[in-house]
Chains A and B, each alone.
Chain A
């Protein structure tokens, strides 16, 4: 299992969070933490997602990027790390 941290910027649209969670689960990633807030001035939401999986993170990044309301997905390399177990 590898741990990854994603920072996602999205339009503050209906169910955007549900969409991200659904794709994350379906593509085989477990969620170990989530942090989400909206800038009401710009209507842009920022979602920090801590996930783990055997799979390569690009697979998830590409799928989240395909969601219509997503503006940007970044993998935070400093926070992402190989788990010891």
Chain B
């Protein structure tokens, strides 16, 4: 039957997706993308209907981050396309390879304020790595191949392809182009290996500052080997967590605003900062001109524009980390510094003592982390619960901790977990969410139900926009403005409405059994953990303050 049918633009789209190994896409249909959904009908690609295009975009992000493959999402024109934007911005900020396909009104109607017409191509400029609008059916295959190549090449990122309805319907020659090579690739200046070796041979107190770029470059083994050979004590960014083995004796934890005391003090004292796939983000550096004030900098990256952007590099090592890290892995004699760092790590280790019956979120998250199966992938939303997860859960690979880093987007956790579960059907996926964030994409519970995804949701419920409340208490004289969520819905009943098993706990004595029940449950599960609304995330480096001047309590 299908042999009779001529290939259309929509059919070609799925052929190219399959050529790139795409098995799963996330999306939501509508008028201007109907020919593509019609072609989906005949395709081998499996489509996951989300309940909001933002959910589809975050699921694509979660899919990409958990699997290392390109995430693909589809949306119709106008409001469908604009609903993708937050997800694309998130993917851009965290360098995640995503291809977004949007339907557009027919070319003849474009520019006439047609029904559901929005200039998504124009809107995409600030929230994608690159974008295309296809106006000739003969360009479609090449554009789609380029979209995949660009999403993955160099520093990864999201690419949008806007396809007008008549192009989706147009008949096209079935032959598929070969994968294109990118023209105009940025040519990297040669790595400054000589200067870097000189800096390494002089250093007494070096620190390895590990970012998300290492995992993205597939260079975890090389990074770990570098850390082992050199013996340099290491710290991690939020996105880098899992890159260094968290049980490594020279690893000091996360740095920055909510970093460990040991990590921040060590960075402030170091004489050489070796930044690898990291970009000196303001949440990492605190007051920039007092960040690691006595350090020289070796900066490894793939993106020329990150060198000297926020901190001047004394040696820039641009290019593939897999090649460059081994070239600089030389043994160093820094035993006294290692001992000092290890001592700080012991002296400032986490304290899980917490008086009273109420549940202490850091301790619960640690207990989940200690008991979750191997290769569990944790996603988070944004707020206090996110920082507690980053501080108190341990990950052995960055693809096992998916959190919205650069954009800090509430509503990320549940749809990202959907994407992660689709990409890794047999692994345990846990979304650590907050009561505020959870409600931002709560409709995705329907996606979980529809596909019977066994996602576990740990809802840290303080009935507050807790992180904002914490800042209001600390920096706005306790004037609590619009951060109370006492009127939240009954979350257990809400989960049950989506056929999701749920339980609520309020006391320490209930924690262990509840975690066990959740982890042993076959299907999706929501565990609501009510905590004291006054609990704060510590340590905290106040805004525009040097990282050694962290607050540790009120």
Contact = CB atoms under 8 A, between A and B. Distances in A.
A63 B125 contact: no
A22 B126 contact: yes
Tell me whether chain B's interface is mostly helix, strand or loop, or mixed.
Answer: loop
B150 interface: yes
25 contacts: A11-B183, A15-B121, A15-B122, A15-B125, A18-B122, A18-B125, A19-B125, A22-B125, A22-B126, A58-B308, A59-B305, A59-B308, A62-B304, A62-B307, A62-B309, A63-B305, A65-B304, A65-B305, A66-B186, A66-B303, A66-B304, A67-B130, A68-B129, A68-B150, A68-B184
Interface string B495-510: 0000000000000000
Interface of A: 11, 14-15, 18-19, 22, 26, 58-59, 62-63, 65-71
Given A62-B304, A63-B305, A69-B184, 16 more contacts: A11-B184, A14-B121, A14-B132, A14-B133, A22-B125, A22-B126, A26-B126, A58-B308, A59-B308, A62-B307, A66-B303, A68-B130, A68-B150, A68-B182, A68-B184, A70-B184
A49 B130 CA distance: 22
Given A18-B122, A68-B130, A62 B184 contact: no
A69 B131 CA distance: 11
B305 A66 contact: yes
The 5 A-B pairs at the shortest CB distance, nearest first, are namely A62-B305, A68-B130, A22-B125, A62-B304, A63-B305
Interface of B: 121-122, 125-126, 129-130, 132-133, 150, 182-184, 186, 303-305, 307-309
B123 to A, nearest CB: 11
Contacts of A18: 122, 125
Contacts of A14: 121, 132-133
Nearest to B149: A68
A38 B182 CA distance: 21
Contacts of A70: 184
Contacts of B129: 68
A9 to B, nearest CB: 10
Contacts of B125: 15, 18-19, 22
Contacts of B308: 58-59
Given A18-B125, A58-B308, A65 B186 contact: yes
B222 to A, nearest CB: 24
A71 B184 contact: yes
A75 to B, nearest CB: 15
- Which of B125, B129, B133: most chain A Cβ within 10 A? B125
Contacts of A66: 186, 303-305
B60 to A, nearest CB: 20
A15 B128 CA distance: 14
A71 B126 CA distance: 20
A69 B132 CA distance: 11
A66 B150 CA distance: 11
A22 B132 CA distance: 16
B65 to A, nearest CB: 22
Contacts of A59: 305, 308-309
Contacts of A26: 126
A11 B132 CA distance: 14
A69 B107 CA distance: 23
A46 to B, nearest CB: 15
A35 B183 CA distance: 24
Contacts of A22: 125-126
A22 B128 CA distance: 12
A66 B309 CA distance: 14
A14 B150 CA distance: 16
Contacts of B122: 15, 18
Contacts of A58: 308
Contacts of B305: 59, 62-63, 65-66
A33 B216 CA distance: 39
Contacts of A65: 186, 304-305
A65 B154 CA distance: 13
Nearest to A67: B130
A11 B183 CA distance: 10
Contacts of B130: 67-68
Nearest to B306: A62
A65 B306 CA distance: 12
Nearest to B121: A15
A67 B305 CA distance: 11
A63 B133 CA distance: 22
A19 B121 CA distance: 11
